[in-house]
Amino acid sequence: MTDTIDEPTASGEDPAGVELHPADESTPANALAPDELVVLVPDVLADSIGDYTRAWWKRIRSGESGALPIIIGLVVICIFFEVQSSAFLTATNIVNLFVQAAFIVLLGMAELYALILSEIDLSVGFVGAVGAAIAMALIEAPQNWPWWAGVIVGLAACAVIGAFQGTIITRLKIPSFVVTLAGLLGWQGVLIYVFDVDKGAVGGVITISNNVISDLVSGNMTPWAGWILLVVLVALFGITSVLKTTRRRAQGLSAPPLSITLLTVGAVAVAGVVLVYICNLNRGALTPVEGVPWVIPFLLVILVLQTVLLGRTKLGRYTYAIGASPEAARRAGINVSLVRTIAFALCSFTAGLAAIVYASRLGSISVGFDGGTYVLYAVAAAVIGGASLFGGHGKPIHPLLGGLVIATLTNGLALLNISTAGTDIATAVVLLVAVAVDSTLRRRGRSGAV
Amino acid sequence: MTDGGPLLELRGVSKVFGAVRALNGVDFTAYPGQVTALAGDNGAGKSVTIKTISGLWEPTEGQILWEGRPVHLRSPNDAEALGITTIYQDLALCDNLDIVQNMFLGHERMRHHLLDETTMELAARKTLSDLHVTTVRSIRQPVASLSGGQRQSVAVAKAVMQAAKLVIMDEPTAALGVAQTRMVLDLIRRLSHQGTAVILISHNLNDVFEVADRISILYLGQMVAEGPLADFDRQVVVDYMTTGESSRAAAG
């Protein structure tokens, strides 16, 4: 199939393959060059590794860079910090880095729902905090609810808040920026109110004594459990990937070459082994501390759930459709208001999960929660990772990668004893560079084609 | 193919917006397996007519008959339930979704509560190849990367996929180049050969004379001429469109 990749298709200037009309030399400006058509879909056009690599490289050059630049950027940043400080690539610090990243990653995943809709939610920080504060107030003395009951109520509160904001946005047709800006102010007030009401809060702080909640981030799996979980996950991923590829081929549908699938599974397995190995090293000074922190599988579960929700359900499909063209979605018979409201509810719900992770890491949640800044980090994480501010694009992996970049910067610069001022400036530069690289690649892709 | 009764019939349909009478007692018919061109100058009432048929606006007066029975089209969903699909000028496709996803948008096939991509891709491929749109190896590319003609093809295929009995195409060839226009016209012909009724709105008389079987001409909200295209020539059509009458023609 090499010819489909490097040469114009047999049907000449008419890639849709309706009868060829040699008289029509004047290819319209909006006609698609066959070459362009091909570069967008390496996965479905290549039959061998060689083809795949070539098509993939073409796609990168045409601006559909995917996650590659951000991964390269992450590696470069890591090398830089390792050269500067030998403390950077230690087991303690790497695990610490993931733990630090978890909150921003989750908050970025929350923001992703709004970004795909071509909207923004400025309230995710405080909405999440309100939910977490409610949960903690219920779980801790004097209420002493079971941890799960408190979490359910807290997350439900978040979802209700999100649905409420989403309803205002869709029914009253007020821009999400305005509604959630009001939310940014208002829910901070509600947060303070929760601390006022809760008799267990001391000096505006609810301290967490519940083991389950604090173990979410501070607790570790036993080393063996970590390995077993890894084997199970890689096996599941490998089996489903291979089955999917072979089934598609059996149906006569195009699919990536089996070798590519196997390589992907292999790469995931290697990355997983490295991660689990590092986590299982003893990183305690006096008493041994080892094992994968629970927050890592927790993040993975949320990542998988969100990926399935956005990629494999009607709700997800409609969210992308509305983000690109609400009018097209409406004409397709989609209940646009309902889908948007649900997406805002999911956004706030995920923010609640993020804030619970935050509280678990600090062992407390305080009235001083800086939701205004965190929401900006959440947007930055999603955008650095590759989600678009213009709607219709973005996958859960994007805030994950972007959140890791931000956490790595914060962590590394702190190791170099650089002030908060320096960290803020560095994060700003990385955000700009990431977006600039992305848009430059895209623009070159647009003008380079045709 | 004219032996069967009309699929759609408008009888004395009027539409009033405040003081403006946009349609005035319009009679209009569309037959299965035939392309009916709806012609008229700007403001003649073409858009109002198709919006009435597609359920966006209810007529103020008059009757709509579907397969001989009177129907009330109160919303686009009512029209869709009957099998009426409208393909608008701006196409209403989502740029970020691929061809298969667009063709099934709003009508996704499910398996175990998840989207059944394999079934949808197979069905989409079959429909496209039935229409001789052979982008088979690349139906997973985003619609953003398609040309205008290809986008029209996807929109038409979407209508076919939903088993539309009547497809209304609003200026399908506007903004298309020569080769793309040809592609779309071929597609319209194939669509009608499959037994679908097609209503074609076009300013381009070349297109009309190339694919249409019948023509209906609106002038200032009134249907001034209707009949088999063979009874008309270009000059007569232009006369009707610009003045509402033609001294040259006996048809109408």
Give pLDDT tens digits for B140-163.
888 887 877 788 888 888 888 888
CA closest to B116 among chain A residues: A312
Q: Whole-angstrom Cα distance, residue B173 to residue A450?
A: 21
Look at B177 and A29 and tell me if their CB atoms are within 8 Å: yes
How near does any CA of chain B get to the CA of A66, in Å?
14
CATH 3.60.20.10 fits B8-93+164-243, yes or no: no
Q: Which amino acid is at A395?
A: K
**Whether residue A357 has pLDDT greater than 90:** yes
Assess whether pLDDT exceeds 80 at residue B181. Answer: yes
Q: Do A29 and B148 touch (CB under 8 A)?
A: no
**CB distance B49 to B218 below 8 Å:** yes
- List CB contacts (< 8 A) between A44 and chain B: 137-138, 140
Inter-chain residue contact B95 with A325, CB threshold 8 Å: yes
Band (A3; pLDDT cuts 50, 70, 90): very low
> Any bridge partners for residue B85, and if so which?
B167
Q: Which of A181-195, A266-280, B71-85 has the lowest mean pLDDT?
A: B71-85
Q: How far apart are CA A371 and CA A382, in angstroms?
A: 17
Q: Mutate which of A18, A36, A240, A319 to test chain B, going by most B C-beta atoms within 10 A?
A: A18
Tokens of B127: 């429909």
Give the pLDDT of residue A194. 93
Kindly report the number of other CB atoms within 10 A of residue A371's CB atom.
24
Yes or no: say if A403 and B107 are a contact pair by the CB < 8 Å rule: no
- B110 and A314: CB-CB below 8 Å? yes
Residues of A in contact with B123 (CB under 8 A): none
pLDDT value of residue A308: 95
Closest C-alpha to A112, from A320, A329, A321: A320
pLDDT digits (tens, 9 = 90+) for B229-240: 988 888 899 889
Q: Which residues of chain A does B170 touch, with a Cβ-Cβ cutoff of 8 Å?
A: none
B108 to A28: CB separation less than 8 angstroms, yes or no: no
Of A21, A44, A393, the CB nearest to B137: A44
Taking an 8 Å cut-off on Cβ atoms, the answer to whether A253 and B148 are in contact is no
Span B51-60, pLDDT tens digits: 899 888 889 9
**Among the listed residues B158, B161, B169, B228, the one whose alpha carbon sits nearest the alpha carbon of residue B197:** B169
C-alpha dihedral over B10, B16, B20, B26, to 10 degrees? 10
Residue of B nearest to A247 (CA): B118
| Tokens matching residue A305 | 């759930």
Contact A26 B93 (CB under 8 A): no
Closest by Cα among A112, A254, A5 to B99: A254
Q: Which of A408, A409, A384, A406 is nearest to A397 (CA)?
A: A384
Q: Torsions phi, psi of B201, nearest 5?
A: -100, 120
Q: Is the pLDDT of residue A166 over 90?
A: yes
In this structure, of A14-18, A74-78, A238-242, B80-84, the range with the lowest mean pLDDT score is A14-18
> Does A14 contact B179 at a Cβ distance shorter than 8 Å?
yes
pLDDT of residue A443: 64
**Which residues of B fall within a CB distance of 8 Å from A40?**
138, 141-142, 145
Q: Do B76 and A332 touch (CB under 8 A)?
A: no
pLDDT of residue A18: 37
Contact assignment for B140 to A312 by CB distance below 8 Å: no
Fold of A85-219+295-417: ABC transporter involved in vitamin B12 uptake, BtuC (1.10.3470)
The answer to whether residues A394 and A382 touch, using CB atoms and an 8 Å cutoff, is yes
Structure tokens at A282: 């003893």
Which region among A160-169, A170-179, A297-306, B11-20 has the lowest average model confidence (pLDDT)?
B11-20
Yes or no, beta carbons of A28 and B183 under 8 Å apart: no
State what percent of residues in chain A have pLDDT above 90.
53
Cα separation, B208 vs B200, whole angstroms? 8
Higher pLDDT, A107 or A44: A107
Q: Do the beta carbons of residue B127 and residue B159 sit within 8 Å?
A: no
Residues in chain A closer than 8 A to B137 (CB atoms) = 4, 44-45, 254
Average pLDDT, integer, range A227-251:
91
ipTM over 0.90: no
Please give the pLDDT value at position A296: 93
Q: State pLDDT tens for residues A22-75.
A: 333 333 333 343 433 433 444 445 566 777 777 777 766 665 556 777 888 889
Give me chain A's average pLDDT, please.
84
What average pLDDT does range B178-195 have in this prediction?
86
To the nearest whole Å, the CA of A14 is away from the closest chain B CA by 8
Where b means 16+ CB within 10 Å and e means fewer, A343-368 reads: bbbbbbbbbbbbbbbbbbbbebbbbe
Nearest to A317 among B93, B108, B140 (CB): B108
Picking from B97, B180, B182, the nearest residue to A320 by CB comes out as B97
Q: What are the b/e assignments for A414-429, b being 16+ CB within 10 Å? A: bbeeeeeeebeebbee
What pLDDT is stored for residue A62 in this prediction?
60
To the nearest whole Å, the CA of A327 is away from the closest chain B CA by 7
A28 and B121 in contact by Cβ < 8 A?
no
CA distance A233 to A66: 24
Distance CA A198, CA A140 (A): 10
Q: Are A16 and B145 inside 8 Å of each other by CB?
A: no
Confidence of residue B120 (pLDDT cuts 50, 70, 90): very high
How does pLDDT run across A253-299, given as a tens digit for each residue? Answer: 777 788 888 988 999 999 999 999 999 988 887 888 889 999 999 99
Peptide bond into A293 cis (omega under 30): no
Lowest mean pLDDT among A1-5, A66-70, A333-337, A388-392: A1-5
Residues of chain B found within 8 Å of residue A62, distances taken between Cβ atoms: none
The pLDDT-based confidence of A149 (bands split at 50, 70, 90) is: very high
Q: Tell me what the mean pLDDT of segment B116-141 comes to.
A: 79
Q: What is the pLDDT of residue B137?
A: 52
Contact between chains at B113 and A313 (C-beta distance less than 8 A): yes
Q: How many CB pairs under 8 A join A and B?
A: 154
- Which range of A29-43, A83-97, A244-258 scores highest in mean pLDDT? It is A83-97
The two tokens of residue A173 are: 């047709």
Q: Which of B220, B247, B233, B244 is nearest to B42 (CA)?
A: B220
- Angstroms from A156 CA to nearest CA on chain B: 24
Residues 6+ apart with CB under 8 A from A441: A60, A63, A65, A69
Boundaries of every domain in chain A:
2-60, 85-219+295-417, 222-292
Asked if B193 contacts B219 with a C-beta cutoff of 8 angstroms, the reply is no
Count Cβ atoms below 10 Å from residue A178 Cβ, excluding itself: 12
How distant is the Cα of B242 from the closest Cα of chain A, in angstroms? 30
Closest chain B residue by Cα to residue A117: B96
Where exactly are the structural domains of chain B? 8-93+164-243
CB contact under 8 Å between B105 and A334, yes or no, is: yes
Helices (H), B74-225: 76-82, 99-103, 117-130, 148-161, 178-193, 205-211
Q: How confident is the model at residue B89 (pLDDT cuts 50, 70, 90)?
A: low
For residue B92, list chain A residues with Cβ-Cβ distance below 8 A: 325, 327-328, 331-332
- Tell me the average pLDDT across A398-408: 92
Helix, strand, coil proportions of chain B in percent (round to 5)? 35, 25, 35
Instruction: List the single residue in A with minimal CA-CA distance to B55.
Output: A331
Rounded to the nearest angstrom, the minimum Cα separation between A30 and chain B is 5
